[in-house]
Every structure is written in structure tokens, then in C-alpha cells.
A and B are shown apart, each in its own frame.
Chain A
């Protein structure tokens, strides 16, 4: 527990670093929010109007003051006001994030359900035809862009079943669980394919190593069947690299999946970030990126806790 506490203490430090980085990075991009927001109409603004708009959003101050103000807000839980949406950034995140989280979780479940058994299966049949087939599929899965999978899925659904996934309005899980699942299953599949392929490959490699370990031989010497030896003795040892990979992929997915969200017209975090950057919506970019960074830290912490749960050497510290 002491360990978790120490990790949590590091969160503010990392967040502070990220906040400086994103604050500066977005301002280094040429262009300004007011021009981006009003487009050609911004040419019609008088200098006075332009100044008062800038003053309203706090854009007239120098960077240090802007940053200091933003940081002051952050400490009180205020992420600022979005220029394009005219809403608090925290409210936008609260609206968009549940979809992204659900999509990420669903993709990971799909990836693990397909990838783990496939990887273990391939490892136990190393260099035999069935192993080669799994490896070829994994290679294809990993090298196919997710929008191709997405478009294929839509094509199959529309041509084969004469229907289309519900698009546009997002159906929350709490409102209509089945409708929600029907809406998300295809995008999750599109995101989960490459993820599953990566899990397959890493699970296969880890299992191959583990199967030649002495303790696997010991388990066999006790008279246990192949199935028991693999699931009880080998797999728990092979899970660590799988957890590492899943953590990283999951962290990325929590940052939104722009293309897949776009194809399925889903209002997730990815599209918000894209729009915010295009619109020079400083407060929104900063707020969302900070939120994504926080999620990454949280996922990494969970991954470390998962290591400890899986491996007692990590739990008690190697002697």
C-alpha cells in the first residue's frame, strides 16, 4: 500500500510537467483562436471587438500569466472554458469520456478473448502448420489499419444483413444496454483487431519461453495433463508481458480513436481533440490532453498493481 501511495504522490509532478508541455506546444502552432473560431468573418471584427473577445477568454495576457491563471483554475478543479463550445472543458470531457472508456474496454476484452487463446494455442504447436496459420493471421491483423477493418465491417453488415449500425446519436449504456452494445460492437471490433493480433504474438512468444522452463517440466513430472500444465503453471507466468502490452494499448485507446469515431460517427474524446486543435481551442486541448495524461498514469499504476498480483516476487520485492 505504501507503494501505491508513493506512486500517487508522483502524479502531481508528472501532471505539472505535462501541463507545461501541452501549454507551450499548442501555442507554438501558428494561428489564433478568434480567427479560427470566426473564420472569414473575423476579418469583419474591429480591432476593439477583437481585443475585447481576447480579453474575455484571457488571451490578451502574456503566456506566463495565462499559464498561471490556468494552473490556478486547475488546482480548484476548473479546466477552463472552451472557446468553440462555450462550455466548461470539464463538462465536455464528462460528456465524451464514457463512450471512449466503454469503447476501449470493449476492444481490450475482444483482444484478450481472441489473442490469449490464439497465442497459447500457437505456442503449444510451435512450428507446426496450425502455429504458422495463427502467425499469418496475427501478422495480417497487425498490419491492417483499423479503418479498413471498420469499412469492411460496415460493408459486410450492410450488404449481408441489409442494415447499418446506429450512428449519430450515442445511446448510453444506462439507457439501453443492448442498443448501446449494438452500436459499439463494430467500432470495438475495428479497434480490437490489431490489438488482438499484438496480444496473440506476445502471448505466443511468452508462452514459448515459459514452456521450456524447469518448473513446467516439474509440473509434468507430477503427472499433470498438458491442459493443466499450460493453464495452471505456464499461463500465469506468461501474462506479465501481455499485461504490459494491454496497458499501453488501453492507455492509447483512452485518448480517443479519431478515425474509427469518425467512421461510425461516435462522439468520443478523439474527435474532440482533433476539433480543438484545428480550432486553436487552447483551453480544450490543454484540458483534454491533461486528462489523457492522467488516465495514462492511472493505467500504468493499475498495470503495476497487476504485476504484483500476478507475481509474488514483485509483491514482496525480490530477495
Chain B
């Protein structure tokens, strides 16, 4: 039975009569119990399409310009009044958003935000509301649900909040659920938990699901049908197996091929060299602790051991991938190496302070919008106390050419695309001829097809300049393509380290296994995700706490794993 039938939907933004159309005639059907995946990159119009289906687009400055969206064979969403839409929203069409951290009201208790749905949609009051709310949280496997109801959103982790969001979306018992990138902001193991939950709840309730994502690998395990969008148009649609195995449109093929997919160690680089050369970077027993509690007239209650006893070295021409999830200490490690946070203990050996440079995650935020290319590239030179002379300007031009940017020093960051801005950041990091580049999630903010190109550039630059990379990422597929060696960070410590192929194809530590098994893949279709609600242990320790030394077990020539009791 068709639940929603969208025909030739056109959506635009701007003043009435002068709208800019961004969705140009998209059509699709969703049946009860069916999952439709809408896949596309940023700007493809996939989220706008989703927001148009429940007309939330009206509140984002947009408008449906044409076409029809018949819900349940009885009401055309495109022509419905706001009052009619308010009866549909929540009760018939539920929605889950991308950022659980911002999608919940920060000043209202979680219980209030769930309870209000039961009041409105089911006319409940008093104790019944609270009981129903507890059941709603139980249903999304939130432990200790009654206590959670009295918490504020900031007291819960991202994964927990997304469960709350799902519980809220389901509380109205909608027949159609729209999930807009519901796992993009979450760690990969949490992503797997949320996908499992969605799949299971959908089986239970027979809800129709529209799942919007940029990650074609993610939907392989869940979707029945796929709609691929590009530039506001649907370029291909069909059953999941047909589209993934025999894509008919070039763009679909591009998405499937250009995008890094995780291949369990089969796609690692083979140009690694570790022939006893002196390391470009040597880190021994690095620890970073943050005091908790401090402040005026208040004693320190303890310390967060963000990074604890981390040791590794890096030879020229080599990439060490540091993988781990939020809170694992991987970014803190990167920052400590550049002294952006003060290490509490340990030694970091490099050749002087300009030998290590950094590229950050978000190129939009790490380029000053008021500086032109010339000023941006001059900064590291000025910071190092050198003069900006003709030779430096020559180097600017050479590096711009090398990272495939136009030879124009007078442009400003907003004149570049996201991928180009990250190239600019890379050029800036290379201005001082460093030996080591620390790349902190350097491709994570880029669109998937741009990621591949920036990774290729990084590999070329590494070969040409003999650079050593410390590549920090949460994305296993990306790390597999760039790293020679991998260190897995968990709760501030390295739990497994070694050659990339060995670690990825034969993971030994339970956490590494969990991490790898959670990575989505186009090879795996309609899988049963296993549910798992384990959370990362607290890193808060009493002042002066000495973490016991790790016990290592050698697995292969370059592969070792920490014994479990230290994890």
C-alpha cells in the first residue's frame, strides 16, 4: 500500500514570484514498511525534498512551487493548509534530524520534550504521560529510563540523544518516518547501534521510512529502494541491489567508485618504507590531563586523563593513522604534538618548532575570511619570524600550483569551494617546509567525492616532499587509503598498533574489532545489526592517579595489541 506518492515535486527559496528553484521535479513512492534511501552530496536537494514532504520547508524560507505529494491517498501535502499540516506532523509523519545535540531544546528536560507529544497526540495527562515516556525510552533501549527523563539534553551523549530523538519521533505513532542523516554526527559504533534500532523498530511497527544520507555504503544494509539525487534532480532510482550492482547513471557509478569504501585492509598503501631511518617525529609516554573542578575557592576534584602513555614514532614518507571515536583522545594527541594543549608528561622529539605543521578539520573555520591568499600563506612565515620576500612569494605561487589552485594571491577564502579551501590550508601548512604534517580529520568536512581527490593530493605531496603524516580520523575507509601504519586509540590509550594491513585485516583488540565491524559497507545488504549499549568508560581519575603501564602482546612483525585489563 502506497503511503506517500510524490510526483514532479519542485521546491524553491526566496521571495514569492522570484524563487530560486533547487528541487526540479522529483518523483517517488514510499509504501508502508518500506525503506527508501535518498542519496546525494551536499546541495543535491535531498534534505530540501525531505523537509518539503512535511512542509517544514515553509519555516526555512522555502516553498513548494509545484507537483503533488499525496499522503495516504487522501491529502496533498503540497496544497494542504498549515492547520492540516499540524495534524499530520508528529501524528502521521515523524522526523529525525541530523544533529541530536542541537535538535533537542537545551532548556527543557528530556521528559518534558517527550511528554508533550503524549499530551498532544494521545490526550494523556498526569501519571500516564510519565509512564508512557518511560516506555518510549525503554523502547529505544535507553538504560535507566526513569532517571533519564529528569535530565537535560546536555547531560546525555550524542548517541543517547539520538535515541531520545527517535523515541520522540515514534511517540506520535507515525506511519511515515523521515530520517535526515540521523547518524552523520555520531561515531561509527554508535551509528551502527542507531541503524540497528531503526531497522528493528521499523520491523516492529511497519512504518514507512525515508532515509536521507550522503553515504551510499550506509544504506546498503537497510534500504529496499534507492533514489540518487544530484543538483536537485533524481538521476537514478530503483531497488537497492539493482542500483548498487548495476548502476545505470554515471553519477551513481561515480558515487560508488570515487568514494572510499572500507575493504578490511585490502585497499591499504604498499609504498611504506621503514628501513631504520631516523624518525621525523618521536613521541614517548605522552600524557594530557585536564583538571576538573578548579576555580575560585574550589579544590580540584580530579583529573581527566584525556591522553595517557601514548608512544609512537613516524619516519619520513610514512603515514600513521590514528583512529578512535569522540573522547578517545585522538585530537588531543594531535594538538599536544603542536603544543596547542600543554602535555602533562612525556617527550616529543622533532626538528624544531616549524618542522611540524597542522591542517584542521573545517577549512571554513580555519581560514580567516578577511585575509586574502597572500596574507594567509604569509602567516606561518611571519609567525616563524622570517621576512616575506620575493622568494617567499615565489614559494606561495609554486605551492598553489602544486595543490591545483589558480595562481591568484588576491582572492579571499569565500571565492573557493570547500575542497579548494582545504587545498589552501594544505599549502599554508607546507609554507615552512615542514617534515611532519598533522592532519586532524582533514577530509571529514568535505563531500565524499572531494575527499578522494584531496587524499590523492596528500599521497602525491607525501612522495614528492618525503613528508610524514599523522592522520587523525574517525573514518576507517579514509584511513585505510592513506595510512601505512595504524594506532587505535581508546579511552586515551593506544590499544592496538601496527602495519595498516595487519591491523585492519586481523584486528585483535575487542575495541578494534567492534570499530571495524561497525563500518558500513556496500558489500553487506540488509544485515541484522547487533544491539549494544556499552558506553566509553569515564576518564576521570583522582589527582595523582598513576595509570598502570600497558602490557603489550606482539602479534606479527609490526603488529601489537594491549592486554585487555589495561583498556
Contact partner of A237 (CB less than 8 A), chosen from B54, B86, B103, B105, is B105
Chain A neighbourhood of B105, CB < 8 A: 215, 218-219, 233, 237
> Given A313-B152, A316-B152, A319-B154, do A221 and B107 touch, yes or no (CB 8 Å)?
no
Q: Which residue of A lies closest to B87 (CB)?
A: A223
In which size bucket is the chain A interface?
20 to 34
| B104 pairs with A215, CB closer than 8 A | yes
Chain B neighbourhood of A232, CB < 8 A: 116
| B56 pairs with A236, CB closer than 8 A | no
CA distance A115 to B199 in the complex (A): 49
B463 CB–A CB distance under 8 Å:
no
Contact partner of A221 (CB less than 8 A), chosen from B90, B108, B109, is B90
Chain B neighbourhood of A216, CB < 8 A: 59
> Given A222-B89, A222-B168, A319-B155, do A311 and B107 touch, yes or no (CB 8 Å)?
yes
CA distance A159 to B121 in the complex (A): 57
CA distance A214 to B113 in the complex (A): 14
B211 CB–A CB distance under 8 Å:
no
A137 CB–B CB distance under 8 Å:
no
CA distance A310 to B106 in the complex (A): 10
Chain A neighbourhood of B108, CB < 8 A: 233, 236
A29 CB–B CB distance under 8 Å:
no
A220 CB–B CB distance under 8 Å:
yes
State the Cβ distance, B82 to closest chain A Cβ, in Å: 8
CA distance A60 to B102 in the complex (A): 66
Which residues of A286-319 are within 8 A (CB) of B? 310-313, 315-316, 318-319
Chain B neighbourhood of A214, CB < 8 A: 97, 99, 102-103
Chain A neighbourhood of B172, CB < 8 A: 222-223
Q: Which residue of A lies closest to B165 (CB)?
A: A218
B88 CB–A CB distance under 8 Å:
yes
State the Cβ distance, A248 to closest chain B Cβ, in Å: 22
Q: Which residue of B lies closest to A319 (CB)?
A: B154
> Given A223-B172, A224-B86, A233-B108, do A218 and B103 touch, yes or no (CB 8 Å)?
yes
**Of B54, B56, B108, most A-chain CB atoms within 10 Å:** B108
Which residues of B40-66 are within 8 A (CB) of A? 54, 56, 59-60
| A221 pairs with B56, CB closer than 8 A | yes
A9 CB–B CB distance under 8 Å:
yes
B91 CB–A CB distance under 8 Å:
yes
| B89 pairs with A223, CB closer than 8 A | yes
CA distance A278 to B59 in the complex (A): 59
Contact partner of A215 (CB less than 8 A), chosen from B54, B106, B152, B169, is B106
B120 CB–A CB distance under 8 Å:
yes
| B120 pairs with A311, CB closer than 8 A | no
B159 CB–A CB distance under 8 Å:
no
| B155 pairs with A221, CB closer than 8 A | no
CA distance A217 to B105 in the complex (A): 10
Which residues of A218-242 are within 8 A (CB) of B? 218-225, 232-233, 236-237
State the Cβ distance, A188 to closest chain B Cβ, in Å: 31
CA distance A6 to B298 in the complex (A): 9
**Of B104, B109, B120, B154, most A-chain CB atoms within 10 Å:** B154
State the Cβ distance, A66 to closest chain B Cβ, in Å: 33
| A222 pairs with B296, CB closer than 8 A | no
A213 CB–B CB distance under 8 Å:
yes
Q: Which residue of B lies closest to A311 (CB)?
A: B107
B340 CB–A CB distance under 8 Å:
no
B384 CB–A CB distance under 8 Å:
no
Contact partner of A220 (CB less than 8 A), chosen from B59, B99, B106, is B59
> Given A222-B116, A232-B116, A233-B108, do A215 and B103 touch, yes or no (CB 8 Å)?
yes
B343 CB–A CB distance under 8 Å:
no
Chain A neighbourhood of B95, CB < 8 A: 218, 221
Known: A2-B298, A223-B87, A236-B108. 9 other contacts (CB 8 A): A6-B296, A214-B97, A216-B59, A218-B103, A218-B105, A222-B116, A223-B86, A232-B116, A315-B152
- 25 residue pairs of the A-B complex, CB under 8 angstroms, read A6-B296, A215-B102, A215-B103, A216-B59, A218-B95, A218-B105, A218-B165, A220-B89, A221-B94, A221-B97, A222-B168, A222-B172, A223-B87, A223-B88, A223-B90, A223-B91, A223-B172, A224-B120, A233-B108, A237-B105, A310-B107, A311-B106, A312-B109, A313-B106, A316-B154
